[in-house]
Structure 1
Amino acid sequence: MKKGLFSRGIFFTMMLVFVLVLAACSSEKEEATPTTPPANSGEVKNEEKPANEEGIYNIKDFSNVKTNEGTAIEGGSITFGLVSDTAFEGTLNYNFYSGNPDSQVLQWFDEGLLTWDANYVYTNDGAATYETSEDGKTFTLTIRDNVNWHDGKPVTAEDLQFAYEVIGSKGYDGPRYDSNFTSIVGMEEFHAGKAKTISGIKVLSDKKISITYKEATPSLLTGGVWTYPLAKHIFGDMDVADMSSSKAVREKPIGFGPFKVESIVPGESVVYTKNEDYWRGAPKLDKVTLKVISPTTVVQELKSGGVDMVDSFPTDQYKDNADMSNVEYLGMIDRAYTYIGFKLGTWDAENGKVVTNPDAKMADKNLRKAMWLAVDNDQVGKRFYNGLRWNATTLIPPSHPEFHDASNPGVTYDPEAAKKLLDEAGYKMNGEFRTNPDGSPLEINFISMTGGDTAEPLARYYVQSWAAIGLKVNLEMVEFNNFYDRVGNTGKDDPTVDVYQAAWSVGIDVDPSGLYGRDALYNFPRWSSEENDKLLAQGLSAEAFDVEKRKEIYKQWQEYMIEEVPVFPTLYRAELSPVNKRVMNYAIGDGTGVYLSDLAVNADKPAVAQ
């Protein structure tokens, strides 16, 4: 990654912020809002994880598979720590949830019908097998005979059909209805109320279903098919609008995963017991307890054995705890990035699309690009995260190495160029700050999420960097759930927000339409253009079955997004997961062949740090 030159004034301003931050840092918050459960970037096995001379670490030095020690005992239990400074929302069904904390709760008791390999391609090793038609437009899934809901009822083809009908309903209030669904034959007619059924979905038998798409696309094999059924015998008599808030989602959720939900303390903890009827075979563990733990206490919880593992360890705390004696650190390149987003329009809920406002405060891409030029994310990654987050250059992260354009440097830190760009665009200095080109005051409202001790100082670094080029930016720190409500998670955009800092866990498939497509609720910038529509469509076209052609299309898309700057990426990220040494048969990510039902322990109690 290229590092820009410092101007003398900005150098001292930034280093002052870094010194203050490094004195205070002990934790961070994971901000991502995933649309799918986590996946891996492939296994890397190296025993040692030394820092280099500057105390900077590299994610390539970690393995994502736990080393087994000792002999597994029969049964046993573990405690899983969900690291968060706020309660999990509790929308505990894959068809409705939207936030990462809820996905961490879900993974223990529910799952999709298909699994992925390390290259994000569907396999036939999951709860269902699949085959495709000769023209690539029809997927036929066959659910295994021994796949049952936790109440003993079989998981059926009708349950999967029902999930599609619920998501396609006008009353659906979740985030899933997007191009992955509108591309199904008959879905748009069903959604519009012109048809009572989705013509492209056929139940062929109790356990067999076919789904036909308007066009064959390369994305269908890598996450484009929705494989999360919805128990029709439970939800079938409910109004769709009431489902996400029902007891069956919030209080007594069921799935067909390795563990059953025994009890929930809303937002705080969940107790699971083994599912003796799990289709892969009864889990080795008897019980799992999930509890929310603060980023500020995660180290204490791990050292004391209060938790055996956590969903994601705050990387800014790794340097001081790399030698924790009772854990093994697993790591991988996270399928995610943090970013700065600009609010450029609103969401049209009636028509299910973004409406971009050409008169939005942040509509001038020169202003947006100047704000990117003003921040040194290379130094942010090193100073805040010791290299375990690093400068992001494009909106396709290196977790997708085939399609990430590593040759593209993004926008290199250059505050002098930022000032010049603003001057040329008419944002003139008037005292300490700049005005709009028409001479009116320019005041930008910026929101960022609360978290550990790093969250606010990092946001303040961005504010000070923008002040150094003459922009008056007001910062507001907002807790996780309220933050995403304000940027548009429910389809309502807070008009007081101009700029925000957030993060994405990206899809299994490289296709970015679910985040930046015109019909994507998660398109929080509410930005659209005909060129963007064209490039996204090309990435899903028949010509994109040629991998080299698809690479070229997404290379162009990455370049285009850098040019237009509806958002700009700030950091790519490592995912670290410290695991107590008593834990056996554990891995992070997909494609490892290690599943949660394999989890075991070699002792009744966790190892304690010495």
Structure 2
Amino acid sequence: MKLAKILGSVGVVSAAALALAACGQSGSSNNQGAKDAKKFPDSTPKKATKQGGTVSVALETDTPFTGIFSDELSTSALDSSVAAPGEESLFDTDDYYRINNKGAATMKLDRKAKTVTITVKKGVKWSDGKQVNAKDLEYPYEILANKKTQAQRYDSTLESIQGMKEYHEGKAKTISGIEMPDGENGRTIVIHYKQMRPGMYFSGNGYFWESAAPYHYLKNIPFNKLQSCDQIRKKPLYFGPFKLDKLVRGQSVTWVPNKYYWRGKPKLNKVVIQVVNPNSASQAIKSHKFDITGVINSQWDQVKNTKGVNWVAQVPLAYSYVGFKMGKWDAKTGKNVMDKNSKVANKSLRQAIGYAMNIDAVNKRYTQGLSFRVNTLIPSGFGAYHDSSIKGYNYNLKKANQLLDKAGYKKKGKWRVQPNGKPLVLHFATMSGSPNAEAITQNYLQQWHKIGLNVKLTGGRLMEFNSFYDKVQHDSKDIDFFQAGWSLASEPSQGSMYGETSPMNYERFVTPENNKLLAEMDSEKSFDTKYRVKVFHQWQKYMYDEAFVIPTSNSYSINAVNNKITGYSTKPSQNNNGHQLWYQVGYAK
């Protein structure tokens, strides 16, 4: 599915990792935790599976999940994890994320005609027994593009579709570029594009949506009520292997088989996902309280000798980062707008903040090397698209001080002042969640104080996940820079996160050069992979230099899985758009 999803608290790799896409090994460390993780498989051992049983899953978070059961309206990895047993993408992929025809729908691309044809298979039914039809394939585009839904996932990527921009701006009542040749009750849509894009062959490309929405179930709900309605919050319909049976809001969710599931009967009778505080995660693993529990990396030493579990590990397509607030989102124009008077408008200041962060020392001390510093915004899991020549913002206090001195941030007593001589106080926002989040944050504040920057925590303390993103998304005045995380789509295009028209470009950074490079990486010319790789490398160098967002770390994701369970896998071909394919999970005979 397009778009990155917002990660939960930075430093916590938990059951939320179930929502992340898999990728190859990356990063290295002399620490024991990383050595252990490299040995672990990406799947449980294959065994004959019996019918029946309940699997319980821990969702490590110190905050309730939002519970928006709609791929179009949800942005949180926690919500993705909670929805995973029911939510299924339209497409299956191979292990390189290339879309194949084994999933619920097929996709055919015609470069000459500039069309993508999507056909849902006969027998793919919603959990109320109704066949998924063409209108269900088209309706998500209306949900995304209608301003009344306030969908965070709409951006210019989708405006490659003819008529999408006109619909979004309220100038047209329908999206002219999406046709249903066999009518709304047929099973096919044909999407007409202004330009074809090289990423279209791969899942996560963002130029077409990879979910369906039950039009017959949602059609009478006004767009401005959609996000809060019972059909989305309490009684969602999915065509995946399970349907929602019981919901304790923000705390737990119980799934039972969808008797109409197109691949046949799932192995399990029930999947229960329950919130557990990260501080209790290690105890939950040792006491076998859940069948599947994500390891909190800082707790690896406490749990690594646990018996009766299989360790399943991966390096997700994800990273945590520090982002600088460079402007505001303009809802009227649907664009990010830079503010030249932003406190962090000076590039040298941003770079100095990056060089002052002792990321390697933090990872070694708090995660046994299970987290590691990343140097660019394209993780190594993307292969050739990743530019390994970029060294990133490695710890260098001397360089940080030199940058500030040269840029005119002179010291006046303990603290540096702005080049105009006025006092400089920077407010930094970050989330609670990880058991060590407070200690890590205090460490970074200390580092910035060492170079004379008066950095204070927004609100004086770590923030709860939902409050944090509410402030970040609404460009709160008391945030100058912040720390957060992305779980990435499996196609490396960057417009949805860093484009001028993307609401998820939380830094609000916009330049002609950035616009040009983002457009070029998805241009017709970029069907030539070598050329596309070159553009990605140019973009990474540009972003590294501008430092409006500085990637900090990625982490091994390790899950403790009951050793009686089989069919659990993090391989892209065994997953479904980053979700565990729950129909194949069961207990071994």
Q: What TM-score does the superposition give when structure 1 sets the normalisation length?
A: 0.89
Q: Does 1:325 align with 2:307?
A: yes
CA 1:456–1:335 in structure 2 vs 1: closer, same or farther (change >3 Å)? same
Q: Is the 8 A contact 1:136 1:216 kept in 2?
A: no
1:477 aligns with 2:480: no
* Preserved contact between residue 178 and residue 192 of structure 2 (Cα < 8 Å): yes
1:57 corresponds, among 35, 38, 50, to 35
Gap change, CA 1:322 and 1:394, over 3 Å in 2: same
Task: Answer yes or no: is 1:272 the counterpart of 2:261.
Answer: no
Does 2:166 correspond to 1:189?
A: yes
Q: In structure 2, what residue type is equivalent to 1:194? A: K
The equivalent position to 2:431 in structure 1, one of 449, 456, 461, is 449
Number of the residue aligned with 2:385: 403
**What residue is the counterpart of 1:236 in the other structure?**
219
- TM-score (normalizing by structure 2): 0.92
Aligned equivalents of 1:449 and 1:163: distance in 2?
31
**Contact kept in structure 1, 2:521 and 2:536, CA below 8 Å:** yes
Answer yes or no: is 1:601 the counterpart of 2:579: no
| Shift, 1:386, TM fit | 1.5
For 1:479, give the aligned amino acid.
Answer: E
Alpha-carbon displacement from aligned partner over 1:268-311 (angstroms, at most 9, x marks no partner): 0011111122111110101111101111111222222221003x
> 2:136–2:214: 8 Å Cα contact kept in structure 1?
yes
Decide whether the 8 Å contact of 1:544 with 1:550 is kept in 2: yes
**What is the deviation of 1:411?**
2.5
| 2:241 corresponds to 1:263 | no
Structure 2 distance, partners of 1:267, 1:412, is 39
| Residue matched to 2:195 | 215
AA matched with 2:152: P
* Structure-2 residue corresponding to 1:539: 521
- Greater CA drift, 139-148 or 370-379: 370-379
CA distance in 2, matches of 1:588, 1:298: 21
C-alpha distance in 2 between matches for 1:378 and 1:305: 32
Query: How many angstroms apart in 2 are the aligned matches of 1:68 and 1:334?
Result: 22
| Structure 2 equivalent of residue 23 of structure 1 | none
1:316 corresponds, among 298, 302, 325, to 298
The residue type paired with residue 466 of structure 2 is N
Instruction: Tell me the amino acid that sits aligned with residue 305 of structure 1.
Output: H
- Per the alignment, residue 369 of structure 2 pairs with 387
- Corresponding residue of 2:410: 428
Paired amino acid for 2:237 = I
Return the letter of the residue paired with 2:172.
A
Task: Tell me the equivalent position of 1:82.
Answer: 59
Post-superposition shift, 1:252?
0.8
Of residues 345, 351, 358 in structure 2, which corresponds to 1:376? 358
Q: Does 1:112 align with 2:115?
A: no
Letter in 2 for 1:253: P
Partners of 2:31 and 2:141 in 1: how far apart?
54
User: Structure 1: which amino acid aligns with 2:258?
Assistant: N
Query: Residue type of the partner of 1:183?
Result: S
Q: Which moved more, 1:532-541 or 1:185-194?
A: 185-194
Which residue of 570, 574, 585 corresponds with 1:588?
570
Give, in whole Å, the separation in 1 of the partners of 2:38 and 2:112.
Answer: 40
Q: How does 1:107-146 map to 2 (within 5 A)?
A: 107-135=84-112, 137-146=114-123
Q: Write the distance in 1 (CA, Å) between the matches of 2:96 and 2:119.
A: 23
CA contact under 8 A between 1:58 and 1:387: conserved in structure 2? no
1:356 aligns with 2:333: no
Which deviates further from its counterpart, 405-414 or 539-548?
405-414
Match of 1:15 in 2: none
| Shift in CA distance, 303/59, structure 1 to aligned 2, threshold 3 Å | closer
Q: 2:49 aligns with which of 54, 60, 72?
A: 72
Instruction: Tell me, yes or no, if the aligned pair for 1:377 and 1:392 is still in contact at 8 Å.
Output: no
* Alignment correspondent of 2:6: none
Where 2:574 maps in the other structure, the secondary structure is coil
Q: Which residue of 2 aligns with 1:568?
A: 550
**From 226, 235, 239, the counterpart of 1:252:** 235
Alpha-carbon distance, 1:381 to partner: 2.1
Contact 1:28–1:295 under 8 Å retained in 2: no
CA displacement 1:513-555 (0-9 Å, x = unmatched): 1111111111011111000000000000011111111111010
What is the distance in 1 between the residues matched to 2:35 and 2:197? 39
The amino acid across from 1:201 in the alignment is: I
Distance change (3 Å), C-alpha of 1:192 and 1:53: closer
Structure 2: gaps of 5 or more residues:
1-9
Residue in structure 1 matching 2:69, options 77, 92, 111: 92
Output the amino acid matched with 2:582.
L
Contact 1:366 1:421 in 2 (8 A): yes
For residue 179 of structure 1, what is the amino acid of its counterpart?
S
Letter in 1 for 2:266: P
Do 2:54 and 2:268's aligned partners in 1 also have CA atoms closer than 8 Å? yes
Aligned counterparts of 2:156 and 2:31: Cα–Cα separation in 1 = 48
| 1:297 counterpart (271, 280, 284) | 280
Query: Secondary structure of the residue that 1:220 maps to in structure 2?
Result: helix
Percent of pairs identical after alignment?
Answer: 36
- Report the RMSD for the aligned CA atoms in angstroms: 2.1
User: Is this contact kept in 2: 1:148–1:154, CA < 8 A?
Assistant: yes
C-alpha displacement of 1:320: 2.7
1:463 and 2:451 correspond: no
Instruction: Name the CA distance, whole Å, in 2 between partners of 1:268 and 1:174.
Output: 24
Q: Which residue of 2 aligns with 1:177?
A: 154
Contact kept, 8 Å, 1:32 with 1:100, in 2: the verdict is: no
Displacement of 1:28: 5.1
1:461–1:485 CA distance, 2 compared to 1 (3 A): same
Change (3 A) 1:360 1:582: same
Q: Which moved more, 1:165-174 or 1:208-217?
A: 165-174
Conserved in 1, the CA contact under 8 Å of 2:282 and 2:296? no
Structure 2 equivalent of residue 162 of structure 1: 139
- Partner AA of 1:602 in structure 2: A
2:78 aligned with 1:101: yes
Q: Check whether the contact 1:335–1:397 (CA below 8 A) recurs between aligned residues.
A: yes
Alignment deviations for residues 395-438 of structure 1 (CA, whole Å, 9 cap, x no partner): 11122122111121112321011111101111111111111111
Distance 2:39 2:197 in 1: 35
- Partners of 2:130 and 2:85 in 1: CA distance: 19
Q: 1:117 Cα shift?
A: 2.1
Aligned-partner Cα distance in 1 for 2:38–2:520: 33
Matched AA of 1:356: M
Q: 1:85 to 1:598 in 2, by over 3 A?
A: same
Q: Does 2:311 match 1:339?
A: no
- 2:16–2:59 contact (8 Å) kept in structure 1: no
CA separation in 2, counterparts of 1:262 and 1:592?
Answer: 25
Q: Which digits, 9 at most, give the CA deviation of each residue in 1:447-493, with x for residues without a partner? A: 110013211111111111111111111123101111111111xxx21
Q: Find the partner of 1:307 among 290, 303, 306.
A: 290
Tell which deviates more after alignment, 504-513 or 219-228. Answer: 219-228
What SS does structure 2 have at the residue aligned with 1:82? Answer: strand
Quick one: which amino acid aligns to residue 597 of structure 1? Y
| Letter of the 2:272 counterpart | T
CA displacement, residues 134-188 of structure 1 (integer Å, 9 cap, x when unaligned): 4272111111111011111111111111111221112121211112311111111
Rounded to whole Å, the distance in 2 between the matches of 1:74 and 1:459 is: 47
1:32/1:99 contact within 8 Å kept: no
